[in-house]
Structure 1
Amino acid sequence: MNEKSPLLRLWELGNSEHTPLKKSIFLAVIGVLFGMLPYFAAAQIIISLMKDRHDYKFYVVGAIVAILGYLLRAVLYALALSVSHKATFSVLKSIRESILEKLPKLPLGTIIDTSSGEMKQIIVDQVESMERPLAHLLPEMIANILGPVCILIYLLILDWRMALLSIISIPLGSIFMGVVMKNYAAQYEGSVKTNSEMNTAIVEYISGIEVIKAFNQGKQSYAKFSKKIKANAFYFYHWMKSCQFFVSLSKSIVPTTLITILPVGFLLYQKGSIGVDVFITTIILSLGIAGPIIAAMNFVDSLAKVGTIVGSIDVILKSEEQQHGKEKVELPDASIYMDNVSFGYHEDKEILHQVSLQIPSGSLTAFVGPSGSGKSTIAKLIAGFWDIKQGYIKIGGTDIKDIPLSQLYSEVSFVSQDNYLFDETILENIRMGDTNASDEDVIRVSIASGCDDFIRKLDQGYNTVAGSKGTHLSGGERQRISIARAMLKDAPIIIFDEATAYIDPENEAIIQQAVGNLIKDKTVIIIAHRLSTIIDADQIFLISDGIVDDHGKHDELLQRNFLYKTMWQAHIGVKDGDEL
């Protein structure tokens, strides 16, 4: 099945505003037609002067018609743009909302594989660049093409030879525009790519400024940053340079209608083949053909861009979603069961190999193993961040694919070592756990998680802004806030992915107590490198190279599993060394 044309797809994206967009096109077309009245009036006035007509009233009426034509064209044009812009900004809002609604439905890997700079360019820059095609291209281009077509039809009725003479320069000029447009789509796609690389470099440079300073890499990092910006400027400069001559030539040739009309028309007039009325009318009206055609040509680049713009947006809007049930299901408990789960973030590389495990409701389970063994991947699959294609995962006896994503996300709290804090107040950051929670509820969980003391010592207390990614707070403070957020969410399943990694020793007891308050009567999964923190777990799964190597209690694994024993001895050795 053939894919829809970019312009048709653009029209589809604006389906919520089709009526006002059609209205704007209608107003613009009528405006262009009224804009032709001055040419008709001028032609009649000149013909009458040549015939020595002395009817003063006729010339006044002609002048009034010309002025009214200009005024009506201006009013209708302004009205058409007003209607189209209101509709367009509504469409852009709708498209952005569709993208933002789509993102949570995508597998986490799809989001991770797209840089924040590229995502920003699609959602902000490329959606914004649709304003010109929607608000201007549709009404103006259609109107500017239809107007000259109406004039051409009128000229064909007067004299087909003069009509053809009036448009010879248009296809000739369009040949040079065709040279430009031949590779325009590919060149524009290249400009999007280089612009995206520049945006990514800017975001990376700003986000990594702390590391850059700490390791004195300012010169090298700035060089990379500067290189991408210069590459973007270089690309656009040479692209425009390669187009400039042909575009200028095209726009110079298209309006030269008189080059053919004057000499050939004069010969036809001398031979008596056409009358002076037809000759003068053709001369005047031909001037009304070129202007709108040139205006329409200004939108040719917008037409070429539409394909790339719509394609980039559809990369998100048409991406494969996670397939989950739509109706809420009753879960009798918070037990977790995995059976023969194999998974890879990308099809060419499998990370988990036939993983099977069972976690009773209300139990404390730990995942341990070497870095990169697949511990966090298992936890994220349970949390529903990806869908699996082999094996199955059940929560409360129900396959998670039958659980709506919104319900699944409500069932699981995921606390990692890199929890994101928004550039909002601490109060609102904690309230992310439950947006309906009162201030008193937020303060209650803050006390329970050991946050209240340090929060109240801040300049603005709970109204202190955390900063982008929580940069105004220490790592330990961010972790404690993330634990408070999880407590407020009160989900039956809690996953800690190295959640206490940034906690300093003096606050560790406070955090352990906070975690203890959080996990009461919950199904808890802890991913830990510090084995001393999980020795009291109900069961420990040892994950190695994407498989479950062994499982049991701490003492059992210590007795029978060499890898676990080695990890424990290494941990104890490091711990003893720290104490020294």
Structure 2
Amino acid sequence: MEQEKKKKQSSFSRLLEFTGNYKTLTILGCVLSCISTIMSFAPYVCIYFIIKSMFAAWPDLSSAVLIDTYGWCAMGFAAGSILVYFCGLLCTHLAAFRTAKNMKRTAMRHVVGLPMGYFSRQDSGRLRKIIDDNASLTETLLAHQIPDAVGAIVAPIVILILLFVFDWRLGILCLVPLIIGAVFQFGMYGGKNADAMKKYMDSLEDINAQAVEYVRGIPVVKVFQQTVYSFKNFYASIMNYKKFASDCAVNSRIPMVGFTVSSNAAFAFLIPAAILLIGTVADPRNFLLDFLFYILFAPACSSMLMRMLYAANTLMKAGQAVDRLDKILNEKALVEPQHPKKPQDATVSFENVTFTYAGATEPALNNMSFSVQRGKTLALVGPSGGGKTTAASLIPRFFDADNGSVKIGGVDVREIASEDLMRQVAFVFQDSRLFKDSILENIRAAKPGATREEVLAAVHAARCDDILEKLPNGLDTVIGADGVYVSGGEQQRIALARAILKDAPIVVLDEATAFADAENEAAIQKAFSALIKSKTVIMIAHRLTTIKNADEILVIDEGKVKERGNHDTLLKADGLYSQMWKDYQASIVWKVRKEAVK
């Protein structure tokens, strides 16, 4: 219901919701903009009366009355208009900065509460674009374009009054090009161009996402001496952006030319009309006075239309920005239990669990059941895409099961507070990420209050001493700074130190040796003993030698448990695991022979 309510609201109404207590400043800024707009037209009236006084005194201009007074009034209104407009912008800028901050804060708070599985489906570049750039776009809208747009709405009322108060015939002639310009303006931002703007914003997000992925892959490009064209997705996103940017420009070409010409074409109507009408009026001098006023006033009308044009453009972009931010905010956050429970122990059990990824037609897990007791190691093996990682990701609620339940210590994980759940589980992923920070802080991320001695103990237990020895500042070395990097295997060992420091009762190892060479794999295997001691361990691996000593092995394929038992039992069963073992042994022999040939 809440999402449907948001959809029914206008983008501007949704934007004002983010202003919070600063909504009053936004409204005040718009009111001051209206006052400034009205005051900006007063100098034209003053100039009209100055010319009128001069005409009345002609040829003895020294006898003209109130010229000084009207002149000072014109200057006063002009200066006052600028001052009031400045105060209005000051109000809207304060509100805009707070609104952008609120948008980013609201989005980030919501993102933090989303299931971790959400981030596996999102590009970091696209998320950054939506949260950061789109919030900044709305900042420009509120700070400048909204007060300008409100002023532009008031301006036509003042203009209509001034156009018809002196000579209605000349007023109509001034109004005709404005109407034509407004029609062109609507054509520029309505119809297919509105849809083109959406596609343009989509292409901007896509190119941001692909650019991030490309930068991350630059080492691969250099190693294999490829070019940007080897990253087809990035190249395709560039061309897609080029297409939509060009389409927007081409589609706006004729309307923009028509708008510019027509909004500035008042002279083409006024001058011929003045020539035709001046001979028919009773007072040619008064008619000439009116004509001069309209000649001076027409450019102000054109300027008003131009402000409306820019305001409409920014409003459209901001509407798209708010809609995209709403897509993130409409993502279902991790539901916290109203009455959280505490697990009795570190036993992990799956009871008839079924789970299907969003948009998939077949379940990733189908009626899966198993249990692993505290102090025991359970290994998940099987063909790629069989559901091993999916099963492990349900334990810390990266996703929630569609049917059945995942339990820790007899309590459904959905009934455990997320903070308590995270304290129960430690992860070592196959692609562990390190922050651009010191190794000390990278490891201490698992336990922010840990002392340096505790971190060093975890480093030693993870067999990372040799890594520290070769780094310039040891534990205080900043990864990624001054050309300091570590290999994939060393990165895994640092991640293991992080998991050891956390000292959680449940440990999930997802291909923890995937990027390790023989030396690093041997160190990681030794570190496992410190990590998994007296813990509930769920281990995913393709290198079957790493799990042959597991207490129980589950062979998972097509989301189902095909076989279960220990290593010897499964070999004797001569099933899928036995065949996997034979294939693995054959690959090792092939690798050894290949090394011997070298």
Normalised TM-score (structure 2): 0.87
1:246 corresponding residue in structure 2: 255
Is 1:360 the counterpart of 2:373 in the alignment?
Answer: yes
1:415 corresponding residue in structure 2: 428
- Alpha-carbon offset, residue 316 of structure 1: 1.2
Is 1:221 the counterpart of 2:247 in the alignment?
Answer: no
2:105 corresponding residue in structure 1: 97
Please tell me whether the aligned partners of residues 325 and 403 of structure 1 are also in contact (alpha carbons under 8 angstroms): yes
Equivalences for residues 100-499 of structure 1 within 5 A: 100-153=108-161, 164-181=172-189, 182-218=191-227, 220-221=229-230, 225=234, 228-257=237-266, 266=277, 270-271=281-282, 285=297, 287-326=299-338, 328-346=340-358, 347-467=360-480, 472-499=485-512
Deviations, residues 388-414 of structure 1 (Å, cap 9, x unaligned) = 211111122222122233332232111
- Corresponding letter in the other structure for 2:19: G
- Alpha-carbon offset, residue 422 of structure 1: 1.7
Please tell me whether the aligned partners of residues 185 and 308 of structure 1 are also in contact (alpha carbons under 8 angstroms): no
Deviations, residues 312-334 of structure 1 (Å, cap 9, x unaligned) = 22221212333332554322212
Q: Secondary structure at the match of 1:427?
A: helix
- Alpha-carbon offset, residue 262 of structure 1: 6.4
Deviations, residues 183-204 of structure 1 (Å, cap 9, x unaligned) = 2211112222333343344333
2:382 and 2:231 map into 1 onto residues whose CA distance is 38
- Alpha-carbon offset, residue 172 of structure 1: 1.6
1:557 and 1:387 map into 2 onto residues whose CA distance is 31
Please tell me whether the aligned partners of residues 339 and 355 of structure 1 are also in contact (alpha carbons under 8 angstroms): yes
State the percentage of identical aligned residues: 32
Please tell me whether the aligned partners of residues 367 and 542 of structure 1 are also in contact (alpha carbons under 8 angstroms): yes
Q: In the superposition, relative to structure 1, how do residues 563 and 245 fare at CA in structure 2: closer, same or farther (>3 Å)?
A: closer
Please tell me whether the aligned partners of residues 542 and 551 of structure 1 are also in contact (alpha carbons under 8 angstroms): yes
Is 1:3 the counterpart of 2:13 in the alignment?
Answer: no
Q: Give the unaligned 5+ runs of structure 1.
A: none
- Alpha-carbon offset, residue 33 of structure 1: 2.2
Q: In the superposition, relative to structure 1, how do residues 326 and 42 fare at CA in structure 2: closer, same or farther (>3 Å)?
A: farther
Is 1:528 the counterpart of 2:533 in the alignment?
Answer: no
Q: In the superposition, relative to structure 1, how do residues 268 and 320 fare at CA in structure 2: closer, same or farther (>3 Å)?
A: farther
- Alpha-carbon offset, residue 54 of structure 1: 5.4
Please tell me whether the aligned partners of residues 374 and 543 of structure 1 are also in contact (alpha carbons under 8 angstroms): yes
- Alpha-carbon offset, residue 481 of structure 1: 0.7
How many residues of Structure 1 are paired with residues of Structure 2 in the alignment?
A: 579
1:578 and 1:246 map into 2 onto residues whose CA distance is 67
Farther off after superposition, 144-153 or 39-48:
144-153
2:344 and 2:284 map into 1 onto residues whose CA distance is 95
2:290 and 2:439 map into 1 onto residues whose CA distance is 79
2:383 and 2:256 map into 1 onto residues whose CA distance is 62
Please tell me whether the aligned partners of residues 116 and 397 of structure 2 are also in contact (alpha carbons under 8 angstroms): no
Q: In the superposition, relative to structure 1, how do residues 255 and 217 fare at CA in structure 2: closer, same or farther (>3 Å)?
A: closer
- Alpha-carbon offset, residue 264 of structure 1: 6.0
- Alpha-carbon offset, residue 162 of structure 1: 6.1
1:67 corresponding residue in structure 2: 75
Please tell me whether the aligned partners of residues 197 and 317 of structure 2 are also in contact (alpha carbons under 8 angstroms): yes
Please tell me whether the aligned partners of residues 185 and 307 of structure 1 are also in contact (alpha carbons under 8 angstroms): no
Q: In the superposition, relative to structure 1, how do residues 537 and 293 fare at CA in structure 2: closer, same or farther (>3 Å)?
A: same
Farther off after superposition, 442-451 or 106-115:
106-115
- Alpha-carbon offset, residue 514 of structure 1: 2.3
1:14 corresponding residue in structure 2: 19
1:362 and 1:227 map into 2 onto residues whose CA distance is 51
1:55 and 1:394 map into 2 onto residues whose CA distance is 99
- The correspondence for 1:23, drawn from 20, 28, 43, is 28
Q: In the superposition, relative to structure 1, how do residues 257 and 430 fare at CA in structure 2: closer, same or farther (>3 Å)?
A: same
2:223 and 2:267 map into 1 onto residues whose CA distance is 70
- Alpha-carbon offset, residue 337 of structure 1: 1.8
Deviations, residues 271-319 of structure 1 (Å, cap 9, x unaligned) = 5799768776666555544322322222222233233222222221212
Please tell me whether the aligned partners of residues 434 and 488 of structure 1 are also in contact (alpha carbons under 8 angstroms): yes
Please tell me whether the aligned partners of residues 148 and 293 of structure 1 are also in contact (alpha carbons under 8 angstroms): no
Deviations, residues 317-366 of structure 1 (Å, cap 9, x unaligned) = 21233333255432221222211111122342212110011222332222
Q: Give the unaligned 5+ runs of structure 2.
A: 594-598
- Alpha-carbon offset, residue 474 of structure 1: 0.6
